[in-house]
Chain A
């Protein structure tokens, strides 16, 4: 079967049109007759070739090129078919991708409030736990600062031992006073003893004088006795002398009586001196003992004070070390005070990033030629929400998180029934 090529057909058509034009324009033949004539002219050679099979050299060459063209045409047709199949595949893939993109955008659309709620929940939980903690830490920090400033007031005094020095000086002075007092008391007792001894000597001398007087009185009495004898011997002439002898005797008796009083007084004075000496001896021992004990007491007191101040010094150093350590610790944990603000801010930022990201996914989807509204397919929304719930549920461990997720899902898939197992019994014993 010989076929004409596309170019041959075009040439023939062009030639027919040129041939037809004079008939139409000059002879004014009807268009149908003209067309029939042209058809005969065009198809005539073909019919001829078919019927008689006589081929000229040119015709044979034409046939060869026609065959080649035919093969090319067949190949082209096959290629077109293949491309059409490929196109169909691409269209199919595009549809699938579009559907998947829709599901992905839908998930982003539903997931966005879930993540937002989770972020809010974390932020809320953080503020309910770290805020009181921060306040307490702040209070502790202020208390430490206040305590530190209170302690610092005594810094110089304690460091320079002014108090200790003062007390020490006072104690030393007291001790010195005690020694002086002890010495003075001893001097006074010694002086009194000397005076008493002097008085005793005087008393003894008075005793000697009294003794002399007694002797003189005894001699006077003997003298008066002898005078009485001589007066008796003289008789009447000695009567006057007898009176004198009697008076002398009386004088001697009076002297004896005065001497007796003097001796008695001397004895009493002697007793008083003895009593004073004995009292002084006793009291001085007692006073010396008291003074000595007070001195020892004072010395112990001073030692105790020294120990006390040493201990206080150690205590003060320890308190300072603790305060210093606490201050360092507070500096270390002071970021916790700002934890709430900083972390809340960061969670807020993360929430915005999530919203931006999911929003941009949805926006990209919406710019697609065949995009649908997110709420257009209830069944796909339902499936996407359930898929999100199934995936995310595994990662959540607290009731707070689950409730946040429930709230988030309810925002974009309000009609989807999802059981996250919040209120169901979570314990099963086999």
Chain B
């Protein structure tokens, strides 16, 4: 079963996403960018990252940049999952190497479909 890492400061959102994916994927989670970066080395083979943009300690865009610096995850798909609708952030994410941008709320079926398509 492929592993997906969810990084979001809201435990509710993490649980909603987890419920949407758990039938098809193994899920691990972190509540901010710093904890996510610390957890990645011991998390094993991660097939896809789902990152919130606005988080304490380290935001999603900074985390994305850091993930891309990791040799094992330079090409791992990253989807930004956020309430941010600003094009500026979207462009920043795209330039930093994100593979998708999902504006919350997103239907569980659609999310699962996208993750299934991108997870490697």
Contacts and interface: CB of A to CB of B under 8 A. Distances in A.
Interface of A: 393-399, 401-402, 421, 426-430
Interface in B75-105: 83-85, 90, 94, 98-105
A425 to B, nearest CB: 9
B102 A393 contact: no
A421 B114 contact: no
27 contacts: A393-B85, A394-B83, A394-B84, A396-B83, A397-B10, A397-B83, A397-B104, A398-B104, A402-B105, A426-B104, A426-B105, A426-B106, A427-B100, A427-B101, A427-B102, A427-B103, A427-B106, A427-B110, A427-B114, A428-B90, A428-B100, A428-B101, A429-B99, A429-B100, A429-B114, A430-B98, A430-B100
Contact of B101 (A394, A399, A401, A430): A430
A402 B83 CA distance: 11
B102 A426 contact: yes
Specify which of A395, A397, A429 lies most central, judged by the most chain B CB atoms within 10 Å of its CB: A397
A394 B10 contact: no
* 5 A-B pairs with the lowest CB-CB distances in the bound complex, closest first: A426-B103, A429-B100, A397-B104, A428-B101, A398-B105
B66 interface: no
A397 B13 contact: yes
B85 A421 contact: yes
Given A399-B105, A427-B110, A393 B83 contact: yes
Contacts of B99: 429-430
Nearest to A424: B103
Contacts of B90: 428
A401 B83 CA distance: 12
Contacts of A393: 83, 85
A324 B99 CA distance: 53
Nearest to B13: A397
B103 A421 contact: yes
B81 to A, nearest CB: 10
Contacts of B12: 397
Nearest to A400: B105
Contacts of B102: 426-428
A394 B83 CA distance: 5
Contacts of B104: 397-398, 426
B108 to A, nearest CB: 12
Nearest to B99: A430
Nearest to B83: A394
Specify which of B101, B105, B110, B114 lies most central, judged by the most chain A CB atoms within 10 Å of its CB: B105
Nearest to A422: B105
Contacts of A429: 99-101, 114, 118
Contacts of A402: 105
A14 B106 CA distance: 91
Contacts of B85: 393, 421
A428 B94 CA distance: 10
Nearest to B103: A426
B65 to A, nearest CB: 15
Nearest to A399: B105
A394 B103 CA distance: 10
Contacts of A395: 83
A429 B100 CA distance: 4
A396 B82 CA distance: 10
Contacts of A398: 104-105
A394 B104 CA distance: 9
Nearest to A429: B100
Contacts of A394: 54, 83-84
Interface string B20-50: 0000000000000000000000000000000
Nearest to B90: A428
Nearest to A398: B105
Nearest to B54: A394
Specify which of A402, A421, A426 lies most central, judged by the most chain B CB atoms within 10 Å of its CB: A426
Contact of B105 (A397, A428, A430): A397
Contacts of A396: 83
